[in-house]
A = this chain, B = another copy of it.
Amino acid sequence: MNNIRIGIVGYGNLGRGVEVGLNNHPDMELVGIFSRRDPETLDTTSPTYALDDILDFTDKIDVLILCGGSKTDIPTQGPALAEHFNTVDAYDTHALIPEYYKKMDKIAQENENVAVISTGWDPGLFSMNRLIQEAILPTGDTYTFWGRGVSQGHSDAVRGVEGVKHAVQYTVPDPLMIDQIQEGKKVPYEATEAHTREVYVVLEEDADPVAVEKAIKEMPDYFEDYRTSVSMISEEEFNHEHQDMPHGGAVIRQGQTSEEEMSIIDYSLTLESNPEFTAAVNIAYARAAYKLAGEKQFGAHTVLDIPPYYLSSKSKEELIAELL
């Protein structure tokens, strides 16, 4: 069998995660990284190309993994590229996913391509587990926890506050609440009560720490409803202690199989590198996209509809013998 030929669009944290992650998959090869930046300037030994030249590669790439941001990149790049390529993305603007699905489905169908959208872990693996947990245990409650990990969105929001030079925000779940849920106790759950937010800030010279802390803690949507701690740290400490991108979380279902008996399903992730893990999920779904395209199952697909064995490099028969 020929290798699956992969292209990466966008060379930020996620793109670098896909680049390094492909080393784990001997049945796949990286054709190139496509960027809006001057390809000569990318710090990599992989082949790099200008995104404007990507249509020269329609016969050389089986699946494109779209590694741009969900705010502005994916909503335009997804539809444009699904016209010419099979694509995988980690589009994560939850409220707009149904609309994006419809758009990608139409374009991919019309052009006989496959578009796997919104992979990663939330949306993605967490969504799949919520579905399976609820289908098996329909009478019960699902609890989701995020962290401990860096939230890019919240870190960006803090960096927007006047007087902030650098900042990072960690989302921290309540470990006691998780313990209680794992023990089968019914817990009143609100995301705002179940998580705290830890902010580390390097101030601009002459900034007022009291004003900065107040501006952060009172920021609506992001911090106002949460218990938030703000710590002012030195640039040296920031560079030394806060450069990693760990994350993780859990989707836990408590369900009654009968009035007397409870079952608990707990799906937990502990990730030293959030972008590398998200990339690892994208890569497995790129294999699925390749197989789906081979079977002419054109259109948009998600983690909710893709048969698990499409993720594997092994045949269905091997998997039944080895894993079932």
Contact assessment for A305 and B309 in the assembled complex, using a CB-CB cutoff below 8 Å: yes
**Contacting residues, chain B, for A264 (C-beta < 8 A):** 268-271
**A260-301 vs B, Cβ < 8 Å mask (1 yes, 0 no):** 111111111111110011011101100100000000000000
Contact assessment for B308 and A258 in the assembled complex, using a CB-CB cutoff below 8 Å: no
A269 to B, closest residue via Cβ: B265
**Contacting residues, chain B, for A305 (C-beta < 8 A):** 307-309, 316
**Contacting residues, chain B, for A94 (C-beta < 8 A):** 324
**Contacting residues, chain B, for A260 (C-beta < 8 A):** 272-273
Interface residues of A in 296-324 (CB under 8 A from B): 302-309, 311-313, 316-317, 319-321, 323-324
Contact assessment for B307 and A25 in the assembled complex, using a CB-CB cutoff below 8 Å: no
What is the size, in residues, of chain A's interface with B at 8 Å between Cβ atoms? 70
Which residue in B25, B272, B323 is a CB contact (below 8 Å) of A131?
A: B323
**Contacting residues, chain B, for A23 (C-beta < 8 A):** 258
- Does any Cβ of B come within 8 Å of A134's Cβ? yes
Please choose the segment from A1-9, A59-67, A135-143, A154-162 that sits at the chain B interface, where 4 or more of its residues have CB less than 8 A away.
Answer: A135-143
**Contacting residues, chain B, for A139 (C-beta < 8 A):** 24
A183 to B, closest residue via Cβ: B270
- Does any Cβ of B come within 8 Å of A257's Cβ? yes
Which residue in B20, B98, B138, B263 is a CB contact (below 8 Å) of A257?
A: B20
Distance from A110 Cβ to chain B, minimum over Cβ atoms (Å): 20
Contact assessment for A261 and B276 in the assembled complex, using a CB-CB cutoff below 8 Å: yes
Which residue in B17, B97, B123, B280 is a CB contact (below 8 Å) of A136?
A: B280
Contact assessment for A127 and B323 in the assembled complex, using a CB-CB cutoff below 8 Å: yes
Contact assessment for A307 and B304 in the assembled complex, using a CB-CB cutoff below 8 Å: yes
16 A/B residue pairs, CB under 8 Å, sorted by A: A20-B258, A21-B258, A24-B139, A123-B324, A131-B309, A135-B311, A257-B277, A260-B273, A264-B270, A264-B271, A266-B268, A266-B270, A302-B324, A304-B307, A304-B308, A304-B316
